[in-house]
Structure 1
Amino acid sequence: MANQTVTNFLTLPVELVYRIMDHQSDFTIICSMKNTLTTLDLEHHHIGSVRAKALGVALQQNTTLITLHLGDNRIGDRGAQSLSRALHQNTTLITLHLTKTEIGDLGAQSLGDALKHNTTLTTLHLEDNHIGDIGAQSLGSTLKHNTTLIALHLAKNKIGDLGAQSLGDGLRHNATLTTLSLKYNSNKGIRSQSLLDTLKNSGLFNTSDLEYNGIGDIGAQSLGVALQYNTTLTTLDLESNSIGDVGAQSLGDGLQHNTRLITVHLAKNKIGDVGAQSLGVALQYNTALTRLDLCGGEIGDVGAKALGSALQHNRTLIELDLNRNKIGDVGAQSLGSGLQYNTVAFIVSLSIPCL
């Protein structure tokens, strides 16, 4: 025994390390490296509620793990409940990925309750799950109490107006969340006044991803009013929201007064010449916007002429996307004339399809 050689795990060939770890449970990996492991990626690992429970127990004891990827597993509500119990005690985890893990309202409620007590998690990914209004209501309630969460990703769930209203109510009492993603949620349209009003009153909110939510002209009108008062939002994504000229006019009014917004995505809406004219007027006064995406709209030569005129005055816009509209030679000529006076704007090709 005196001559026994002890081999350090870190000195082993990487191929051998992988072979060893392939035969260990998730629980064993976390526990055996609880003093060194900072990032663990267990996506696509066939983790169900039972293995999630074991992970939850391990997380309660772990003091070094910062990032945990559990996406594309069948964790479900029961597994989420186990992980939630761990979050009550864990004081190191910062980022948790639970995308596409079959979590519904019950799981979201458990996570919401845990976040009322957790003081370290800053980013939570819950995209592509089965969370509806009930789960969103719980998360909204959490936002009133949580003081550390910075980014909450809820894209591709089943959240409607009631859930959005709760999230809006929560955000009005929250001073830390800066990013909220709700894209691809309600087919009926998220038009919650509470959520939209939050953009007017929030002190830190800087990124709002609301694409594919059927907001329409009514929602866009509320957003336009909010933009006149908001001083923190830098990115607004409203792609594919059935916004027409009426909504675009309101957004244009908001942009005339807004001094913070840098990027606005309005691709794949129903904005035509009248809406483009309003946005063109806004660009003559706006001094902050650098990117405006109008791809896949219904803008013709009249709207293009208004935008071309705006480019003669605007000195901050860097990229204007007008792919797949109805702009002809006359409109293209007007845009070209505008660029003669503008040294920074770049107009994306008028024929390349929108992404």
Structure 2
Amino acid sequence: MGSKTSKDASKVFVDPNERYTAKQRQPGNWGWWANDVIKRIGQDDPNLGVVRLPAILLGSDGVREVVAALQANYTVRELDAARNQFNATAVLPVARCLVANTHLHTLNLNFNPLGPEGLRHFLEPLLHNEYLETLHLNTCGLGVAGAKTMAAIIQFNNSITDLDLSGNNFEAKGALHIGSALAHTFCLKRLRMGRNDIGDGGTKDLAQGLNRNRSLKLLDLSSNNIGPKGIRNFATLLEDISCGLEVLDLSHNFLAADGCRALMERLPHLKDLRILNLRNNEIGNEGVYYVNCAILHEACQKCKLDALDVSENSITADGLNYVCEILDERPDIRHLDITSNSIGEIGGGTLVDCLQENKGIVTLFFGSTDVSSEQSKEIQDRVEANREAQGLPIVGGVSRRGRNRPTFGSVDMDFKEVMLDKSIDLKALCADKAVNLACLGLSGLNIAKELATALLLTSSVTHLDLMGNKLKTDDAQVLAAALVHCPRLKVLKLSSNQLLDTGARAIAKLVAKTKSLTSLDLTYNQIGDSGAEDMALAMNRNKSLRVLAMEWNEIKRLDRVNDMLTTNTLLHTLRLSGNRIGNSGVTTLCSGCLQTNNYLTSLDLSLNGIQDDGGSDLRKLMLTNTSLMHITLSRNQISSDTVASIETCADRNLAAHGHRLEGLEGVDIPIVARGG
């Protein structure tokens, strides 16, 4: 998981769009502040965590300059480039940036006409990138062909947890590709597929994939022309669901009462569901009756439903009785939206009476319901009293108006704000294949032992993210001893902790014994030469590791690393940026392992105090090296001519190796070089 970036204005660079005239906003004419953006990105401004450039119409030159600056940046975590008219050609530098960038966690390209060709540029970078977690491609014209490419990314990428594919006209054929990919991903947690016209057939295909998925928590299928038949097929397949779905958005479809009944009959199988959005489905009083029967049924008493949206559904005062009965019997339901239903003053009186006893409701939207002004004030007072009793702010919790309200039932609300549980059930979390425990403050020997115990109880974990938990040496020793007994563990992220050399030695013992681990991240752990040597010695015994990141540590000597790479035939990516290697370290590699190693394809030595002497050694090496395709040397003191020569050789190798990855069902992988 990426680092949490403060919402404080000092942390975010926001484009002042309102200052632009129509003439200034033409493509390539992106304002007086452009140079300041580039300067702040290039200088690693510590206060620059988010760069927002929406609707700037950057043009090809502008995007190249921004991406070039990002290549050498280590602070920017989020890039918002929505509505910039990027086509397949203009977006190519952005795709290239992801080849070696290890710090960008969120990328927003919404409302850019990328098309399926533009998405293809991202295929190879995203198959190897293990840092990008959030990708927004809303309304990018991807179509059915783009859905096929996206399915390959979903299936093989190991980092993306939040994906927005709304408004791309996938139709039923595209939904088939996405559904097939869902059956094989263990990382994706939030998928937005609204406005894709997938219809009844596409809904069934998605449900089949969902039935085999274990990671998805949020699914948005709003505005997809789903009728009673489609939701019936979808609901039938929910009986064996095992992913623990928590948010389901079916708003703006055509479920009607029959479709609502089919869905409600399967509601007991969605035991982890927290938010259900049925907005604008014409379910009427009959449909809300089925909702009442399902929620109050004995089989649903242990369900976790917390928020319900039945707005715009032609519900009258009679139907509201069923809603109020739910509130009477289930005080754990805290959020309700009944906007734009003609309940009138009769329904308003029923709601007032219900809220006199209810202490649970803290969010209630009831705009455009024709209740009287007196009833409206009393309803608001009741809900505000509940909020105050629960220590919640008295702002935004109640809305009588139907316009511009913060719809809690849709996926527009921040997903984490909806998850109300404060405790962490480590045993339950470790039952998944992809376990994300980043930035949860899990430091402390007792917690480490509890986590180790949870890991020992399962053999299914394939991905474990413990970034940013302030784990210390003792914690690492306990966890490493437990992880030896996780036979399927492939990806382990331990960046931004406090392992030091002793902790690195413990992890090295794990590396020496494991037969499954393919990717290890030890970035930002104050590891010195001793820890690096232990890791190199462990690698001599390892038969599985392919990606090793030890960036931003305190490594100077590479003698043991050089010895390891001389014989290692598995490692293809080594990231050592932000250390103290200098010319001597580069010379050691160039005169040793890089002369004979034909397996290493990506090497990051940026920000290591390397000067022209070291750069010259690398340039001589690259004249004959045929395997290194990605070399990152930014933020060193190497002349631009030397860097350009080295990159030319790397691009030559990349073009010569234009390989295809197995299992992509004929999806071509474009040749991608580094941008900037």
TM range (shorter): 0.7 to 0.9
Name the counterpart of 1:33.
71
Name the counterpart of 1:221.
261
Q: Could you tell me how far apart the structure 1 residues matched to 2:399 and 2:247 are? A: 27
- 1:4-43 alignment, distance < 5 Å: 16-18=35-37, 23=61, 25-26=63-64, 29-30=67-68, 33=71, 36=74, 37-43=76-82
- 1:279-294 alignment, distance < 5 Å: 279-294=323-338
> CA, structure 1 residues 217+59, in 2 after alignment: closer, same or farther (shift >3 Å)?
same
TM-score, normalization by structure 2: 0.45
SS at match of 1:74: coil
Letter in 1 for 2:193: L
Point out where structure 2 has 5 or more consecutive residues left out of the alignment: 1-32, 42-57, 388-393, 405-676
RMSD: 3.4
SS at match of 1:140: helix
- 1:153-192 alignment, distance < 5 Å: 153-186=192-225, 191-192=230-231
SS at match of 2:289: helix
CA contact (8 A) 1:87 1:115 kept: no
Name the counterpart of 2:360.
316
Point out where structure 1 has 5 or more consecutive residues left out of the alignment: 1-13
Name the counterpart of 1:121.
160
Name the counterpart of 2:660.
none
Displacement of 1:140 in angstroms is 0.9
Q: Could you tell me how far apart the structure 2 residues matched to 1:48 and 1:209 are? A: 30
Q: Could you tell me how far apart the structure 1 residues matched to 2:90 and 2:333 are? A: 48
SS at match of 1:344: helix
Letter in 2 for 1:267: S
TM-score, normalization by structure 1: 0.82
Match of 1:344 among 386, 392, 411: 386
Letter in 2 for 1:209: D
CA offsets 1:30-78 (integer angstroms, 9 cap, x no match)? 5862562533333233321123344334423333322222222111011
Q: Could you tell me how far apart the structure 1 residues matched to 2:372 and 2:69 are? A: 65
Name the counterpart of 1:268.
312
Match of 2:288 among 216, 237, 248: 248
Greater alpha carbon shift after TM alignment, 167-176 vs 293-302? 293-302
> CA, structure 1 residues 310+17, in 2 after alignment: closer, same or farther (shift >3 Å)?
closer
> CA, structure 1 residues 327+228, in 2 after alignment: closer, same or farther (shift >3 Å)?
farther
SS at match of 1:320: strand
Match of 1:278 among 319, 322, 332: 322
SS at match of 2:121: helix
Q: Could you tell me how far apart the structure 2 residues matched to 1:323 and 1:28 are? A: 44
> CA, structure 1 residues 215+354, in 2 after alignment: closer, same or farther (shift >3 Å)?
farther
Larger Rg: 1 or 2?
Answer: 2
- Percent identity over the alignment is 24
CA contact (8 A) 2:210 2:243 kept: no
Displacement of 1:184 in angstroms is 2.0
- 1:26-65 alignment, distance < 5 Å: 26=64, 29-30=67-68, 33=71, 36=74, 37-65=76-104
> CA, structure 1 residues 310+272, in 2 after alignment: closer, same or farther (shift >3 Å)?
same
In the alignment of these two chains, the number of paired residues is 339
CA contact (8 A) 1:27 1:54 kept: no
Displacement of 1:342 in angstroms is 11
Greater alpha carbon shift after TM alignment, 220-229 vs 164-173? 220-229
